[in-house]
Chain A
Amino acid sequence: MNKESLLIDVRDLRVYCHIEQGIVRCVDGLSFSIKKGQSLGIVGESGCGKTMTALSLMLLHPQPEGNIETGNIFYYPNGDSYIDIAKLDIYGKQIRDIRGNEIAMIFQEPMMSLNPVYSIGQQIIEAIRLHKKVDKIEARELAIEALRRVRISAPEQRINEYPFQLSGGMRQRVMIAIALSCNPKLLIADEPTTALDVTIEAEILKLIKDLQRELGTSLMMITHDLGVIGEMTDEVVVMYVGKIVEKADTRNLFEKPLHPYTKALFKSRPEIRMTGRLSSIKGSVPNPYLLPKGCNFEPRCDEAMDICRKRTPDLVESDGHRVSCWLFH
């Protein structure tokens, strides 16, 4: 791969949580990379480790129980020099300069992530002044500019409003404005539209896509909705219980999903054109303390074979996909 265009290169990342009941392998040997300006989707059910992956890129994984056991997160801010984020001190200055400034994140629930007692202007200005050496008046100008960029009308007045005065869609726009206020190189969007109506969802997704093009930001889109993945991303990682089960170009994945889990995800979506019963995946995500011995998906898989019960499959190349299933070995 061309090193020049690489932005983030994650290699064999393992994030474990040490809790009373045992060790939960939230992220278990994940490798992926994001190029400059590219958008990567991470899709999977709740509890599969999507959010934990995103948090660990900014060293925001829960403390003290969460720990990056092994692996590297190579971050290439410009050209060939790189920083291994996984090796940085979580409370250190270096990561604080990256967080919010070079890698920014928007969250699922905009009401929970905005502070209700500060005006939205104060919250945007806070982010700007943490990372840029500007005075209050300049910061305010930048904040108004940031609001205008996310297509909020009359930003000069809106800047003084409080989160409760805004609708869900507007709040999410403010979150995006905060995230983009420092022109980050990577924007992580963790289920940004799950809490919103379909009509608003379409608007917010379009906004993120437009801004991504305008600013040349890379995007990491975390969602459980394959529809959002189809619209927003170039490449997809399908995760199941901390592991990658399939990785492919979005187009390839939609044309021909290979892994039984990916296929099942596509089939369980109620589509407008369909007739007859939905096919659902039987059972549920396994208990993280009692993972199956072989492939994690084996107990729910219709195509399981003997070997699936004994050994975990590796990620192998097949048809331009990387897939972790014994069917393709």
Chain B
Amino acid sequence: MVVKGLKKLFPIRKGFFYKTVNYTKAVNGVDFFIKKGETVGLVGESGSGKTTVGRCIVRLYEPTEGSVEFNVDGNMIDLSEVPKKGMKSIRKHFQMLFQDVYSSLNSRMKVVNIVTEPLAIHNMGSKDDRINRARELMKRVGLSEDDLNKYPHQFSGGQRQRIGITRALSISPDFIICDEPVSALDVSVQAQILNLLLDLQDEFQLSYLFIAHDLGVVKYISDRIMVMYLGKIFEIASSEDIYENPRHPYTEALLAAISKYEAGSTRDILLKGSIPDPSNPPDGCVLHPRCDYAKDICREVVPDLESIPGVSEASVACHRYKELNLKGHK
């Protein structure tokens, strides 16, 4: 999958005629790609536009600009060109996992109906086939066949996320967007779900876009990591590289904020203040008001995402990345 120049602007309307006075630039020019069987992590603070990227890819939001090319059986298809009606047949190639396991399952449907609904929508198999498929998958994700006749309220948070995973897998997708699937779960359950996602990836050759704000979780599951801030991608690199050797000051600050899991430890606070208003982003590099390394050029010129010579699949959007010697996570 290749994403090019993706933009999503939400209009801000005001006044009697409901005129558009400004735009919230939720995603402001984002380029990346995901290979088959790969997991790409997407991290950033809340309000950085992570979820919007995920939703634009599957056209739950109509992107304002840019293209999303998706490999459907060997042909690259630009999703933003596909008419609305044609999307249905393409949607069976991707699925989503959501953060809130309490609101993403319909509490009035039995599990069997929740899990087989995607199959029914895409007219796949007879009713018996669908139920057999559901049985098989329920066992695969660690639930029992009897659970199919229960309702979502009878399950714990971790089990609900397993139901969510079963639903996502039912139509055998190629690509799953995981939007903070473990943030609401306890650590011990988190580990179970992460391990399950990795096992399923090996088994079904899945690609994941893994959206999260917990850098420990992202490191564990991802091959490459993208760091996002205020609708822009600041850095992309392989997950080992980015933690040992961050090239963007924002990445350094995020890494410094990770807890060290030691008694009596403290964290360095490198970022002051909070994320600016995305309808009125700062000029130049959007980080400069919060960045300790900012120089004049950062206040005036927007840095491009440049690939780094000598390091494969790594890019950074910072004017000063060559001069700076940033600290990784030790």
> Complex: how many Å from CA A205 to CA B260?
14
Contact A284 B261 (CB under 8 A): no
> Complex: how many Å from CA A198 to CA B221?
18
> Complex: how many Å from CA A274 to CA B191?
13
- Asked if B82 lies at the interface with its beta carbon under 8 angstroms from chain A, I say no
Quote the shortest CB–CB distance from B255 to chain A (angstroms). Answer: 8
Assuming the contacts A228-B259, A230-B262, A278-B195, asked whether A202 and B267 have C-beta atoms less than 8 A apart, the reply is yes
Contact B45 A250 (CB under 8 A): no
Query: Which of chain B's residues 213-260 have a Cβ closer than 8 Å to chain A?
Result: 213-217, 219-221, 243, 253-254, 256-260
Contact B257 A268 (CB under 8 A): no
| Interface bits A256-267 vs B (CB < 8 Å: 1, else 0) | 000000001110
Contact A198 B257 (CB under 8 A): yes
Query: Which of chain B's residues 22-67 have a Cβ closer than 8 Å to chain A?
Result: 45-46
- Asked if B192 lies at the interface with its beta carbon under 8 angstroms from chain A, I say yes
Which chain A positions have C-beta within 8 A of B214? 198, 270
Quote the shortest CB–CB distance from A283 to chain B (angstroms). Answer: 9
- Asked if B274 lies at the interface with its beta carbon under 8 angstroms from chain A, I say yes
CB < 8 Å neighbour of A269 from B187, B264, B266: B187
The majority secondary structure among interface residues of chain A is helix
Query: Which of chain B's residues 66-123 have a Cβ closer than 8 Å to chain A?
Result: none
> Complex: how many Å from CA A264 to CA B267?
25
CB < 8 Å neighbour of A265 from B45, B188, B254: B188
Contact B46 A168 (CB under 8 A): yes
- Asked if B280 lies at the interface with its beta carbon under 8 angstroms from chain A, I say no
Contact B259 A200 (CB under 8 A): no
Which chain A positions have C-beta within 8 A of B220? 270, 274, 278
**Total chain B interface residues with beta-carbon distance under 8 A:** 44
Give the number of residue pairs across the A-B interface with Cβ within 8 Å: 123
Assuming the contacts A199-B45, A230-B260, A272-B243, asked whether A277 and B265 have C-beta atoms less than 8 A apart, the reply is no
Query: Which of chain A's residues 252-297 have a Cβ closer than 8 Å to chain B?
Result: 253-255, 264-266, 268-272, 274, 277-282, 284-285
Which chain B positions have C-beta within 8 A of A197? 45-46, 213
Quote the shortest CB–CB distance from A205 to chain B (angstroms). Answer: 8
Quote the shortest CB–CB distance from B191 to chain A (angstroms). Answer: 4
Smallest Cβ-Cβ distance to A266: which chain B residue: B261
Smallest Cβ-Cβ distance to A284: which chain B residue: B156
Quote the shortest CB–CB distance from B208 to chain A (angstroms). Answer: 15
Assuming the contacts A278-B194, A284-B158, asked whether A231 and B216 have C-beta atoms less than 8 A apart, the reply is no
Assuming the contacts A169-B274, A224-B187, A280-B195, asked whether A199 and B254 have C-beta atoms less than 8 A apart, the reply is yes
